[in-house]
Homo-oligomer: A and B are copies of this chain.
Amino acid sequence: MRTLELDLGARSYPIHIGAGLLADAELLRSGICGRQVCVVTNETIAPVYLDQVLAALEGLAVSTVVLPDGEQHKNLTVLNQIFDTLLGDRHDRGTCLLALGGGVVGDMTGFAAACYQRGVDFMQVPTTLLAQVDSSVGGKTGVNHALGKNMIGAFHQPNTVVIDVDVLASLPAREYSAGMAEVIKYGLINDAPFYSWLEENTGALMARQQDVLVEAIYRSCANKAAVVADDERESGRRAILNFGHTFGHAIETATDYGTWLHGEAVAMGMVIAMDLSCRAFGLPVAELDRLKALLARAGLPAVAPRIPPERYQELMSLDKKVQNGQLRLVLLKSIGGAVVTADAALSQVSESILACTG
């Protein structure tokens, strides 16, 4: 097992990465301070991993919430199911929520923990690659609104993250690839050596070779932890973690959250953002081909759905990165060198969207 620390002063927490961690009762219980715990999971994960986790928590007062699976259920109404259980089972301020699932479960559980009695503890036990390298670390929590993704939420840090790579063995290929999009992102925005390492190890990663996987997750989380420790509430540099996401969110919204997986949309968004980086910052076009080749080997799309540039711009104007009317985008000055900028011309944005559309 490898352990990283996310350094946030009083809100610092460990991120444990390894095999067989779900069965490690001592580790799972390390984040639970009181006698109450509420495990939140979903219909897909519950039949596979819930019993194992409940066994590890034996002796505590445990409630369980099984949510419907899918991004379309990440809303205030479904969130209320968690509050129903917490209140019905009389969880008090000393309780701890445990998110057992992918990004949707993690975001909703974290937000429920942020709001329940104005804030209780929670633990992340992510079961998808995407959640392991991205959403379980950093404290962004929330739900979607019909008019925009992740528009209602809170910054609320978990007290522990437990990443068991064993669970990835059963992850469907498409979801595994979607997670790889975020892994590749860390290389692109902050870590050129890691980007090269990923190119060299794509074969082993796609074969889900465990030691290579632990290394990839460790380096992804280390990059994320460094960025978050610098700027917890995204007043500045943390925004580079959204590389590809502004375009990606527009794709997800335009396709009604369902056709494209989040990671797939982000991969596509990274292609558009890199195309735009070539136009706006003179990044060599060869880098665009290099990225497309890596994404292809990782099973990810590089051709955008047919959405008119005006529709993108309409959706992007709703993005959280807009402030006082100005859309800020994350672009690359070099591999490993992301910047947040409002400098790209609107005409260039449209050109990049069209160039990347099938």
Residues in chain A within 8 A of chain B (CB atoms): 34-36, 76-77, 79-80, 83-84, 87-88, 90, 92-94, 114-119, 140, 142, 145, 147-148, 151-155, 233, 317-318, 320, 322-325
Contact = CB atoms under 8 A, between A and B. Distances in A.
Which applies to chain A's interface (DSSP): helix, strand, loop or mixed?
A: mixed
20 contacts: A76-B79, A87-B318, A88-B147, A90-B318, A93-B320, A93-B322, A94-B323, A94-B324, A114-B154, A115-B152, A115-B154, A116-B152, A117-B320, A118-B140, A118-B153, A118-B155, A118-B233, A118-B320, A119-B233, A154-B154
Contacts of A320: 92-93, 117-118
Contacts of A87: 145, 147-148, 151, 318
A40 B356 CA distance: 42
Contacts of A35: 324-325
Contacts of A318: 87, 90
Copies of the protein in its oligomer: 2
A322 B92 contact: yes
A102 to B, nearest CB: 20
Q: Which of A77, A79, A155, A322 has the most CB of B within 10 A?
A: A322
B154 A142 contact: no
A99 B92 CA distance: 29
Contacts of A34: 324
A36 B155 CA distance: 23
A323 B92 contact: yes
Given A35-B325, A76-B76, A119-B233, 14 more contacts: A34-B324, A76-B79, A83-B145, A83-B152, A87-B151, A87-B318, A93-B322, A93-B323, A94-B324, A115-B152, A116-B152, A117-B153, A119-B154, A119-B155
